[in-house]
Amino acid sequence: TEEIVEDYAERVYRAIQRSGKSYEELSHEIGLSMNDLRAIAHGYREPTIKEARKLEKYFKITLIERAETEIEKKPSIPRDYEPTLGDIANIRIKKRKKK
């Protein structure tokens, strides 16, 4: 999955400052509205992935990072496992708590 970096606003704002262009000029060149560009640069709203790609391409900055999702693996029970009395008691207690 892809995520927007936490400091996106700071990166976009610095890129805008470096460009020396107005929000109006940039909005026409990038393809975002002036209000959207200003809101993203000042951190009022996070850009969508599509908007972030446009900004990355235009300013040559990084706004999207890959997020590694960890898949939780259920513990598996061996086939030759025989439960003890303690295991059975714990199972019954858990079943009671669910109700």
Residue 49 or residue 74, greater confidence: 49
Instruction: Assign a CATH topology to domain 2-66.
Output: 434 Repressor (Amino-terminal Domain) (1.10.260)
Residue 77 has pLDDT above 90, yes or no: no
**3-state secondary structure string across 4-41:** ECCCHHHHHHHHHHHHCCCHHHHHHHHCCCHHHHHHHH
Q: Which two tokens stand for residue 71?
A: 């898949």
Whole-number pLDDT of residue 12? 95
**Where are the domains positioned within the chain?**
2-66
**Average pLDDT value for residue range 31-58:** 94
Whole-number pLDDT of residue 67? 79
DSSP state of 45: S
Residue 36 has pLDDT above 70, yes or no: yes
Residue 52 has pLDDT above 60, yes or no: yes
Q: Which two tokens stand for residue 89?
A: 């008691």
Residue 2 or residue 38, greater confidence: 38
Pair 12, 4: CB distance under 8 Å:
no
Residue 36 or residue 70, greater confidence: 36
